[in-house]
């Protein structure tokens, strides 16, 4: 497998370069810029005491996420959803995925009746924006929890965060399973899978889709192996970023 | 595993009773009522010559799907999305899933510049509405393709349909992997997975989510085994329905 | 008049075959499928304790209705109003008509501060969907009131329901007044009238429209005679359905 | 019947004072201010060569209407539908009624492929706004047709206008049928009916509704007699206005 | 400068004829029809005890404004924003301008926790609709304050109204600064400025825009001189109107 | 005046530090990040051959702008306008201002039938976001014009750009006129003015508003002096940025 060289020179099981910048902006309780190759996503975590009405008096917290692309994050300009007056299906789908991934590592009882709203805004898109959002959002979430602990809103950030979560895309390109697809690969993929994994190596989300050619159990297993490798490396980057400051 | 008895008396690897009624209504080119236990979905396929503008002059066809729940399909009434003035995130997510599953078995070149719009309207919801929609929609799609062949819009229904597709939900309830979750199980599931499989046993969609407790590779494999068994039985029901009339 | 034979073989003063199926789905407090010829409407009644804010502390209940067509109820697919983001004028007009008809037979004081939301969803449309909705909705309303009485929400279903209501369409086709128009007749009608009548033979709604040729008092009287006959027969069908189970 | 005196001193079969001002504003092809008692409606007719896409190449014209209330036409301010982002059910219902009434007297073939858009904006509301709109709109329509004839868009205004149309409300108040209800009467009416009549005494629209107490054939006939009298007088006012200038 | 004669015969520093009609309609607490040449705007002030939630318990009042055009106020019909389902940018911009101008002369503490909603609806548009709205709205505001004083909602209208406000447009046409531009001049203006001035000669709003040719300090000063002259004359008209009745 | 020291240590006539980063992202034809103190705006210019329908066959180009804030650009999170389903009044107002400023320096005939869509997205807001948007957008516009010249879409970037444009805010704080207001000053300003100026020192936009205390001619002149000084310095920063690379 290693003899295949990708357009950008990577091996099939190699991540694109990742950088995670914390405190990217000043106002949010957590603010992270994550870059995965040319993909750049700004993830801001807003901590608010209190929960939505349907969750009140439950003793439990809540975490939601909203994803969006700036109009010219892409090669062709995309019309603003605010101007169109409605949120599109893709945006909804990705926002919900990010929310589920974050909730999968949060102890809602330890969070108490507090809410975190995560905003993931894509400044530049080159494939893997939803998985970069999950990976960056986790770091912003940690910062928001540390802030909440420091400000006495929660007892302990560590208790709220049951585990780490990161996500990466994998796919089959021309019959070859590959890790971390940039846009040119993603658009040619026969099968495309996004895998969100915890620090303990278990899965929170697996979304595999094969509009172009179905995949079998063997391919699935290879893709999951690649995703595990990628997620372990992304979690190292998360840890490194969180160790600073 | 067999000693566990579920609330409805089924074994853990047992589907709910399935019925597939073709020609449920008269106007659509394909019209199917599928019931999976108490879940009932009406799937209608609309065949239209021509494709959307962005697809014109490609020689390729297009297949989309829209999913919706009637207001009182559920125990509590759900406000209509038409009255709210927007389509919700869950609806968008499921509509897109159904569309991808159907496109995964359609040869767009054989379909030619024709479009199929699949509508899946849930009359009664008791878990598994999205997977029942996929399973029922495939049968409606076959009928629409037979209609299109009979009316000279396509050369051959068999050429358009590269394979069969069905879908089923699986999940881990109190630590036990189970097949085909009704609503009371679904709402308690630690892990929930929807698996769309072709007749040749490959996957078109795998969507596993674990907001409540992450799952490991071993559990994933057990769930996929259950899903394969369930899908094989659903495909038998599809074949039986299509053999009639 | 009797010598005229309609396309479907009926006499000019003859209803299409009517069937009324109660308990069509499980969740709603009242759930009815009504078929009038090829028109099929699902009517579900949702009973909720409490009333909207503007009605609070009045001691009075409230009844509303929403009407909608499934996309492929018609020969050509109709775009979903949820996707278009707004409810159309025709839908609004019919929803309001159904609501007024039901309120016309309800004693709001006997209902107390409780609300009934009626949903009429057209599964298949062949003319007369609004009048079939009224006729079916009344039966669903009775079931909801019986449920509310059995569950102690109201004192007596009989006291809430002051009278029966049904509705039927009549129209002038090629100069001949006719009862219960299917779509092919409806679209050719010079004059079209919907008449909602109580069990005591009085009127709750008369909506006559004549875009194509105005009508005089004599024609009006003939149409009302036809409508009275049709409504009396529909009310017999309502009584028969309600006598079961 | 004559001994009953209404709050405003009128006899039960007496219209409120009517004034019809043509050329109320300069830009529209027809512009009329109609006052019926305290109700004031501005009706503007916009003539445009060409018809909507679905009507093209039919040789036929088209007439539509839009009704709206200014926010403070009423005792309590009504929020703008533009700000709410949607047109309400009542507005839709009335707009459609006005459109049907006008189309009922227009020969679409004589109009040719031209369109008239009628706008009825209520400056002040005191009952009967929809019927005043119909009556005023007809005069604006005549002016627009005369303009179109003068500018060579149509051959003859007289050929387009097959007949006159006016409308008036009638209702039963405390058991007494009355003509032309102002708001205080309208809101107490047991039965409320709007009747649009042609110059030849035939009906284009009859909309009777009885949320509060159903009506019988005898009452219906009395109401129709009142409506005929009222419409004949309104048509005299239309003729007088059109005879000027 | 005086030798230039404008299309309508005015001198460059001459206002169009202004009329201000109070009590134009009955329901609003303030109701004014203002005409500036052919521009006609209806301004209604709605006084409501209480303020929006965000302003509660502040002891302060609130004033807002909404501006709209009737569809056929203009030479070509403009689609209704209610039908389009959204308020356009120009409408938003003007509504906000009017609100700021009115708030600029209101003592919010003297108003107390009461709200005024100003509606400015353009019946006929011939340039300067936003400035006519401000000038007319001020008069409607005074009437609403007098009403509120008379009804004991506020202590004193005079204390609420710190000053007078009026507004007028000025612009540079073919190099010549001119006062009060009708539409044909406005559309040709190189520079266009709206100036809202108090009775004491200070400014509340200056909005100058020069899409077609930038302006320098000298031109700015000439335009402001013209605007001062115009506003002083408009304020005389306001005073005259308010002195009546 | 110089003895007053502002909260951030600046003199009253001193700009906040400005940085202009070109080529901030890869996809757009012009992409600029501008920071003015803590305010950070990303300005991307999209060049598209062709113009909107209403502009076709005019030989003229078109330039528009859209402004938006990321949800957590501010101290409190702002709900997304896409989720609310409508663009707010403030957003509309600012988008229109930016568009007018850019069009004020563009020769539409030299641009030819090509369109530029400018997107200004505020990553972090600390006052002056609209003026920073104008200043940054101009630089992105220059880059887009250079790109268009290099790719043969226009003859000459220099001919399209008739002049430079920048913008800055000024205001009166506690009686003292000051340049370039950060949020804490802006929210306390009695008078607030945004001034867009060309390289030749003429004005394209002056928007002064005084909800809290009107301003007189003398204050206006002082504010304009400050704005001229500020704009001259901003234009130096623009030139410096454009001289690179």
| Tens digit of each residue's pLDDT (9 = 90 or more) over A59-85 | 999 999 999 999 999 999 999 999 999
Please report the pLDDT score of residue D1 as a whole number: 43
Residues of E in Cβ contact (< 8 Å) with D71: 44, 46, 66, 117, 119
Residue C15 above 50 pLDDT? Answer: yes
DSSP alpha helices (H): ranges in chain A?
81-84, 89-103, 108-111, 129-150, 157-160, 183-186, 217-243
Q: What is the mean pLDDT of chain C?
A: 95
Name the closest residue on chain D to residue C212, using Cα atoms.
D104
Chains adjacent to F (≥3 CB pairs closer than 8 angstroms): A, E
- Summarize the annotated binding site of B as residue ranges: 90, 128-130
Distance from CA of E39 to the nearest CA of D (A): 10
Out of C40, C72, C75, whose CB is closest to B44? Answer: C72
Please report the pLDDT score of residue F212 as a whole number: 86
Q: Which two tokens stand for residue A176?
A: 């070859």
Please report the pLDDT score of residue F3 as a whole number: 65
For chain A, which domains are there? Answer: 18-243 (3.30.230.70)
Higher per-residue pLDDT: C10 or B2: C10
Between CA C105 and CA D212 the distance in angstroms is 9
Distance from CA of F3 to the nearest CA of A (A): 30
Over residues B114-157, the pLDDT tens digits come to: 999 999 999 999 999 999 999 999 999 999 999 999 999 999 99
- This prediction's pTM: 0.93
- Band the pLDDT of B206: cuts 50, 70, 90: very high
Express as a percent the part of chain C with pLDDT over 90. 92
Please report the pLDDT score of residue E28 as a whole number: 98
Residue C176 contacts by C-beta under 8 Å, 6 or more apart in sequence?
C1, C4, C12
Residue B173 above 70 pLDDT? Answer: yes
Residue A110 above 70 pLDDT? Answer: yes
Q: Under a CB-based contact definition with an 8 Å cutoff, are residues C156 and C87 in contact?
A: no
Per-residue pLDDT of chain E (245 residues; tens, 9 = 90+): 446 779 899 999 999 999 999 999 999 999 999 999 999 999 999 999 999 999 999 999 999 999 999 999 999 999 999 999 999 999 999 999 999 999 999 999 999 999 999 999 999 999 999 999 999 999 999 999 999 999 999 999 999 999 999 999 999 998 999 999 999 988 888 889 999 999 999 999 999 999 789 999 999 999 999 999 999 999 999 999 999 86
Average pLDDT over residues A34-48: 98
Please report the pLDDT score of residue A212 as a whole number: 86
Could you tell me which of E121, E222, E220, E99 has the C-alpha nearest to residue E167? E99
CA atoms lying within 13 Å on the CB side of residue F78: 20
Tell me whether residue C44 is annotated as binding: no
Residue C12 above 70 pLDDT? Answer: yes
Name the closest residue on chain F to residue A39, using Cα atoms.
F25
Residue F242 above 80 pLDDT? Answer: yes
Interface contact flag, C89 D100, Cβ < 8 Å: no
Q: Where are the beta strands (DSSP E) in B91-175?
A: 114-124, 165-173
Between CA E113 and CA E60 the distance in angstroms is 5
Q: Which two tokens stand for residue C81?
A: 């109003």
Q: Could you tell me which residues of chain D have a Cβ less than 8 Å from any Cβ in chain E?
A: 25-28, 31, 38, 40, 42, 44, 46, 48, 66, 68, 70-75, 77, 80-87, 91, 117, 119, 121, 123-124
User: Which value, to the nearest 10 degrees, does the dihedral of the CA atoms of residues B104, B108, B109, B110 take?
Assistant: 90
Q: Under a CB-based contact definition with an 8 Å cutoff, are residues B168 and B195 in contact?
A: yes
Average pLDDT over residues B211-230: 94
Residues of E in Cβ contact (< 8 Å) with F209: 100, 204-205
Residue D2 above 70 pLDDT? Answer: no
Backbone angles phi, psi at F56, to 5 degrees: -65, 150
- Band the pLDDT of C156: cuts 50, 70, 90: very high
Residue A126 contacts by C-beta under 8 Å, 6 or more apart in sequence?
A37, A38, A39, A182, A183
DSSP alpha helices (H): ranges in chain C?
81-84, 89-103, 108-111, 129-150, 157-160, 183-186, 217-243
Please report the pLDDT score of residue B1 as a whole number: 43
SS (H, E, C) F166-193: EEEEEEEECCEEEECCCHHHHCCCCEEE
Residues of D in Cβ contact (< 8 Å) with E68: 80, 82
Report the interhelical angle of B217-243 vs B129-150 (nearest 10°): 40
Interface contact flag, F96 E89, Cβ < 8 Å: yes
- Band the pLDDT of A211: cuts 50, 70, 90: confident
Name the closest residue on chain C to residue D193, using Cα atoms.
C206
Residues of E in Cβ contact (< 8 Å) with D77: 46, 48, 117, 119
3-state secondary structure of E205: strand
- Band the pLDDT of F181: cuts 50, 70, 90: very high
Q: Under a CB-based contact definition with an 8 Å cutoff, are residues F43 and F118 in contact?
A: yes
Between CA D20 and CA C244 the distance in angstroms is 59
Q: Which residue has 């503008």 as its token pair? A: B53
Tell me the C-alpha to C-alpha distance, in Å, between residue F139 and each of B157, F159, F181, F227. Answer: 57, 16, 22, 19
Residue F1 above 80 pLDDT? Answer: no
Tell me whether residue D128 is annotated as binding: yes
Interface contact flag, D216 C205, Cβ < 8 Å: no
Burial class (CB in 10 A: 0-12, 13-18, 19+), A181: buried
Average pLDDT over residues B24-44: 98
Interface contact flag, D214 C206, Cβ < 8 Å: no
Interface contact flag, E220 F198, Cβ < 8 Å: no
Q: Which two tokens stand for residue F108?
A: 């539409």
Over residues F43-78, the pLDDT tens digits come to: 999 999 999 999 999 999 999 999 999 999 999 999
Residues of B in Cβ contact (< 8 Å) with A212: 104
Please report the pLDDT score of residue D3 as a whole number: 65
Could you tell me which of E17, E15, E20 has the C-alpha nearest to residue E137? E20
Over residues E53-62, the pLDDT tens digits come to: 999 999 999 9
Out of F27, F48, F82, whose CB is closest to A81? Answer: F82
CA atoms lying within 13 Å on the CB side of residue B22: 19
Interface contact flag, C70 B117, Cβ < 8 Å: no
Name the closest residue on chain F to residue A81, using Cα atoms.
F82
Out of B44, B66, B83, whose CB is closest to C83? Answer: B66
| Chains C–D, number of C-beta pairs less than 8 Å apart | 95
- Band the pLDDT of A3: cuts 50, 70, 90: low
Q: Cα angle vertex B131, ends B126, B136, to 5°?
A: 100
Residues of C in Cβ contact (< 8 Å) with B70: 42, 44, 119, 121
Q: Which two tokens stand for residue C100?
A: 């007024």
Q: How many helices (H) and strands (E) does chain C have?
A: 7, 9
Residues of C in Cβ contact (< 8 Å) with B71: 44, 46, 66, 117, 119
Residues of F in Cβ contact (< 8 Å) with E207: 206-208
Between CA E37 and CA E16 the distance in angstroms is 5
Between CA F237 and CA F231 the distance in angstroms is 10
Burial class (CB in 10 A: 0-12, 13-18, 19+), D143: buried
Residue F166 contacts by C-beta under 8 Å, 6 or more apart in sequence?
F131, F134, F135, F138, F196, F197, F231, F234, F235, F238
Q: Could you tell me which residues of chain A have a Cβ less than 8 Å from any Cβ in chain F?
A: 25-28, 31, 38, 40, 42, 44, 46, 48, 66, 68, 70-75, 77, 80-87, 91, 117, 119, 121, 123-124
Interface contact flag, A92 B89, Cβ < 8 Å: yes
Q: Could you tell me which residues of chain D have a Cβ less than 8 Å from any Cβ in chain C?
A: 86-90, 92-93, 95-96, 100, 103-104, 163, 193, 198, 200-212, 214-217, 220, 224
Please report the pLDDT score of residue A167 as a whole number: 98
Q: Could you tell me which residues of chain F have a Cβ less than 8 Å from any Cβ in chain E?
A: 86-90, 92-93, 95-96, 100, 103-104, 163, 193, 198, 200-212, 214-217, 220, 224
Residues of B in Cβ contact (< 8 Å) with A214: 104, 163, 198, 200, 202-204
Distance from CA of E26 to the nearest CA of F (A): 30
Residues of D in Cβ contact (< 8 Å) with C162: none
Q: Under a CB-based contact definition with an 8 Å cutoff, are residues F124 and A25 in contact?
A: yes
Interface contact flag, E68 D91, Cβ < 8 Å: no
- CB atoms under 10 Å from CB of B136, counted, come to 34
Over residues A152-187, the pLDDT tens digits come to: 999 999 999 999 999 999 999 989 999 999 999 988
Residue D244 above 90 pLDDT? Answer: no
């Amino acid at each position: 497998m290693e003899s295949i060289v990708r357009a950008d020179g990577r091996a099939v099981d190699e991540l694109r370069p990742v950088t995670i910048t914390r405190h990217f902006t000043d106002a949010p309780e957590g603010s992270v810029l994550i870059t995965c190759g040319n993909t750049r996503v700004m993830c801001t975590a807003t901590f608010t005491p209190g929960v939505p009405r349907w969750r009140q008096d439950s003793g439990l917290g809540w975490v939601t996420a909203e994803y969006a692309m700036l109009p010219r994050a892409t090669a062709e300009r995309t019309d603003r959803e605010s101007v169109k007056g409605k949120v599109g299906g893709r945006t909804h789908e990705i926002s919900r995925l990010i929310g589920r991934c974050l909730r999968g590592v949060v102890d809602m009882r330890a969070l108490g009746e507090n809410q975190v709203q995560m905003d993931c805004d894509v400044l530049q898109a080159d494939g893997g924006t939803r998985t970069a959002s999950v990976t960056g959002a986790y770091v912003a979430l940690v910062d928001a929890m540390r802030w909440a602990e420091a400000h006495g809103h929660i007892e302990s950030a560590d208790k709220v965060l049951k585990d780490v979560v990161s996500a990466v895309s994998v796919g089959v390109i021309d019959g070859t399973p590959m890790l971390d697809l940039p846009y040119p690969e993603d658009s040619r993929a026969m099968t495309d899978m996004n895998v969100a994994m915890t620090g303990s190596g278990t899965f929170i989300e697996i979304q595999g889709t094969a509009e172009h050619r179905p995949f079998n159990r063997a391919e699935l297993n290879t893709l999951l192996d690649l995703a595990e490798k990628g997620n372990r490396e992304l979690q190292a980057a998360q840890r490194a970023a969180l160790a600073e400051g």
